[in-house]
Amino acid sequence: MPGGSLTSSRIFRDYKVVAKLAESDVITSFTLALADGADAPAYRPGQYLVFRLLVNGAAVLRNYSVSGDPADARVLRIAVKRESAPMAHVPAGLGSNHLHDHVRVGDILTAAGPMGDFVLCEASQRPVVLLSGGVGLTPMMCMLHRLVKSSQRRVFFIHACENGKVHAFANEVRALAGMREGVAVHFCYRSPDSVDLGFHSQGLLAREQLQALLPLDDYDFYLCGPGLFMQANWRMLRGLGVDQQRIHYEFFGPATVLEEQGAPAEVVAERVPVVPEASVSQAPTALPAIRKPEQMQVESNTAATGLQVSFMPSGTVVDWSDGCESLLELAELSGLNPDFNCRAGLCNTCMSTLVSGQIEYFEPPLDDPPPGRMLLCCSRPLGPVVIEIDA
């Protein structure tokens, strides 16, 4: 494991870009070394860095998974998909386009981490299925390096994407698979070009295909990709009888964008922790969701506190209840839908304006909000508060 301390993962550090490479028409990788010359921080395959990017004079936080070889103590590699505008009059993705267009070799990027719970379980000896869609392959690359070089476990690397133009790391995956026995690769292109040769199946990944690819066994599944890919494949795996405890997963896409696309509630959460062990006995066919307002109730054994919380601009006024975890949860319980992403003080998506009153953080924000601003997901009120939720 590279040097550094896991406990320092919430500190922002400067990284120098030592290489920048187009891995496909839409995905570019950036290889980063700590600017002070120290070894890269320690991490587990699957973890990500949180970047503080200065875009048009404003700081934005964006997460990018470590996608390189975890045995390399000197550098970390990330790979970023350029997020184009989904329709006219909508801006293109801020962070990804900034990285693609303006960040060059020699530039300094500031990032915290690596962090995250979507990690390869190396205590297990079960065969592993790495199942990714689109840019969801980035954490799988890191896992594949580790599995090929440091284990004898059987590995099935299954990747779905549009076609060869957008397919990143195809040669790297093939080369890794060629390094030892027991590593199988399957590339599935939704609509291959006439020039595409190196794919194994066409269309959407189907149940029969997965059954044919995977001999009957007890696997650890790792799943990462766009919301609809995640939903379809989660359902497929559960339909094939795969235990929920065996499916580890992570979402990449912004929650609000998924909502706007009319995706079902099950895929609205952007980033959901690895399936909790406590929920093993249930057998849902849909991904466990971060709780939605209509599914939640303030626990009945907790008394209302008399602390009034006013949410603007809706004018919703509610009493704070100690049964609520955070002001974000209170807002959701009240029928409001503030934007959120990490729900852990890491991404600033839930940043709102504290119009009056005082709050406390039960989880310190990774990056302190500017004066007058606050994070909903990791705070509670200390008295009556008025909060303006960003539109």
Ligand X SMILES: Cc1cc2nc3c(=O)[nH]c(=O)nc-3n(C[C@H](O)[C@H](O)[C@H](O)COP(=O)(O)OP(=O)(O)OC[C@H]3O[C@@H](n4cnc5c(N)ncnc54)[C@H](O)[C@@H]3O)c2cc1C
> Which residues have C-beta within 8 Å of that of residue 315, sequence separation ≥ 6?
none
Q: Which residue is nearest to ligand X (CB)?
A: 93
Contact positions with ligand FES (CB under 6 A) in 70-99: none
Rounded CA separation 389/298 (Å): 21
Interface pick for ligand FES out of 28, 47, 163, 341 (rule CB under 6 A): 341
User: Can you read off the two tokens belonging to residue 328?
Assistant: 């974000």
φ, ψ of residue 285 to 5 degrees: the values are: -100, -5
Contact 33, 104 (CB under 8 A): no
Q: Does 65 sit near ligand X (CB under 6 A)?
A: yes
Interface pick for ligand FES out of 158, 188, 375, 387 (rule CB under 6 A): 375
Contact positions with ligand FES (CB under 6 A) in 183-212: none
Interface pick for ligand X out of 4, 68, 69, 83 (rule CB under 6 A): 83
Rounded CA separation 96/199 (Å): 27
Q: Does 233 sit near ligand FES (CB under 6 A)?
A: no
Q: What is the DSSP letter of 293?
A: G
- Report the partner that residue 62 touches, choosing among ligand FES, ligand X, none (CB closer than 5 to 8 A by kind): ligand X
Q: What is the DSSP letter of 66?
A: B
- Binding to ligand X by CB under 6 A, coded x per residue (else -) over 105-134, reads -----------x------------------
User: Can you read off the two tokens belonging to residue 160?
Assistant: 């779905």
Interface pick for ligand X out of 18, 35, 73, 94 (rule CB under 6 A): 94
Interface pick for ligand X out of 16, 33, 35, 95 (rule CB under 6 A): 95
Interface pick for ligand X out of 145, 146, 271, 343 (rule CB under 6 A): 271
- Report the partner that residue 63 touches, choosing among ligand X, ligand FES, none (CB closer than 5 to 8 A by kind): ligand X
Closest Cα to residue 38, out of 93, 75, 10?
Answer: 75
Rounded CA separation 263/246 (Å): 25
Number of residues that bind ligand X (CB under 6 A): 30
Question: How many C-beta atoms surround the C-beta of residue 45 within 10 A?
Answer: 27
Interface pick for ligand X out of 90, 286, 317, 355 (rule CB under 6 A): 90
The gap from C-alpha 42 to its chain's centroid, in whole angstroms, comes to 19
Question: How many C-beta atoms surround the C-beta of residue 329 within 10 A?
Answer: 22
Rounded CA separation 223/232 (Å): 11
Q: Does 273 sit near ligand X (CB under 6 A)?
A: no
Closest Cα to residue 381, out of 331, 346, 313?
Answer: 331
- Give the pairing type, strands 201-202 and 27-34: unpaired
Rounded CA separation 6/2 (Å): 11
Interface pick for ligand FES out of 28, 233, 244, 348 (rule CB under 6 A): 348
Stretch that binds ligand X, among 62-70, 188-196, 285-293, 369-377 (CB under 6 A): 62-70
Stretch that binds ligand X, among 13-21, 60-68, 122-130, 144-152 (CB under 6 A): 60-68
Number of residues that bind ligand FES (CB under 6 A): 12
Interface pick for ligand FES out of 139, 226, 345, 381 (rule CB under 6 A): 345
Rounded CA separation 320/331 (Å): 10
Stretch that binds ligand FES, among 41-49, 146-154, 227-235, 344-352 (CB under 6 A): 344-352
Owner of token pair 């940043």: 351
Binding positions for ligand FES, rule: CB under 6 A = 340-343, 345-350, 375, 377
Binding positions for ligand X, rule: CB under 6 A = 48, 62-65, 78-81, 83, 85-86, 90-97, 116, 135, 138, 250, 252, 254, 257, 260, 270-271
